[in-house]
């Protein structure tokens, strides 16, 4: 992998991890466009860690408060359990089954449909400090489908929060707070798999660092931008992008 490819994929990861357009789906598409035969696992870990630090940076003040808020901490744990089960049991199978551009295109169209419903279901009143375990479970079940490339983790979990009755700010914050254990856990599992396979990365450490730093910086900008979009009740606008990219991908994959 060249430096310019790492920069491009780092930008893709930084934008797509937080904007509701699916980072995994866009990495599959970006990999195909850049003629990379397979995404190096070490690079995937690096860019995900980069976006993890984006969340820690943007929500650093909230994290200090949540450490002393047991109900919210419990809600984060409960919402994380479904994706942990999926990650341990089905993650690799899902990634292999949906690794093609065609499958990612179909999943992007599904993401578009989920995002579009926010046009009508965006009137929740519950603050983050008032979140219930029922609401946490609902968001967690939405997050459980996130390992499918083309399904936006941020998109479906924010929608799950809105549908459960959380207000816009609470749904957004909770979505990204539960991303911390989700991304961390995925990075640990992938690192363990990499070590067990005794597979050396084809990407140099400097290229890995480049991708991670780019993903971190772009991720901060994307996350701050998305919070403004959610506050303006414009989340459904991303449905048009996902639908367009999804249909184009399906068309190109089908007829190429």
pLDDT in tens, 92-135: 676 666 667 888 889 999 999 999 988 887 778 899 999 999 99
CA nearest 20: which of 94, 160, 115? 115
Domain count, the chain: 1
Predicted pLDDT of residue 199: 58
pLDDT at 166: 95
Share of the chain above pLDDT 90, in %: 45
pLDDT digits (tens, 9 = 90+) for 179-225: 999 888 878 877 777 677 665 556 688 988 999 999 999 999 999 99
54 part of a folded domain: yes
Residue 255 lies in a domain: no
Give 166's strand partners: 126
Q: Identify whether 35 is part of a domain.
A: yes
Give yes or no for residue 23 having a pLDDT over 70.
yes
* Inside any domain, residue 237: yes
* 254 is a domain residue: no
Q: Cα(108)–Cα(26) distance, rounded to whole angstroms?
A: 9
Percent of the chain whose predicted confidence (pLDDT) is above 70: 87
Rounded distance, CA 152 to CA 186, Å?
15
Confirm whether 156 is domain-assigned.
Answer: yes
Domain of 178, in residue numbers: 3-249
Structural domain includes residue 169: yes
Is the residue at 217 inside a domain?
yes
What separation in angstroms does the CA of 12 have from each of 22, 24, 141, 188?
Answer: 10, 10, 26, 22
């Amino acid at each position: 992998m060249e430096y310019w490819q790492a920069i491009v994929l780092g930008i893709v990861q930084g934008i797509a991890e937080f904007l509701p357009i699916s980072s995994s789906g866009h990495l599959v598409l970006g990999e195909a466009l850049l003629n990379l035969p397979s995404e190096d696992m070490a690079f995937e870990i690096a860019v995900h860690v980069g976006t993890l630090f984006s969340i820690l940076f943007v929500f650093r003040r909230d994290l200090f408060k949540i450490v002393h808020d047991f109900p919210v901490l419990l809600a984060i744990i409960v919402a994380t359990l479904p994706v942990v089960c999926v990650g341990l049991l089905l993650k690799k199978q899902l990634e292999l089954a949906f690794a093609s551009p065609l499958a990612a295109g179909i999943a992007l169209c599904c993401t578009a449909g989920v995002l579009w419903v926010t046009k009508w279901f965006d009137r929740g009143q519950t603050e983050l400090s008032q979140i219930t375990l029922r609401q946490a479970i609902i968001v967690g079940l939405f997050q459980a489908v996130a390992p499918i490339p083309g399904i936006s983790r941020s998109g479906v979990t924010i929608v799950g929060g809105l549908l459960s009755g959380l207000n816009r700010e609470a749904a957004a914050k909770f979505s990204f707070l539960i991303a911390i254990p989700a991304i961390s856990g995925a990075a640990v599992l992938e690192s363990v798999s990499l070590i067990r396979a005794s597979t050396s990365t084809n990407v140099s450490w400097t290229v890995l660092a480049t991708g991670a730093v780019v993903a971190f910086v772009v991720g901060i900008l994307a996350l701050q931008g998305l919070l403004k979009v959610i506050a303006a009740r414009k989340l459904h606008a991303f449905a048009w992008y996902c639908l367009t990219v999804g249909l184009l991908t399906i068309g190109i994959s089908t007829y190429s």
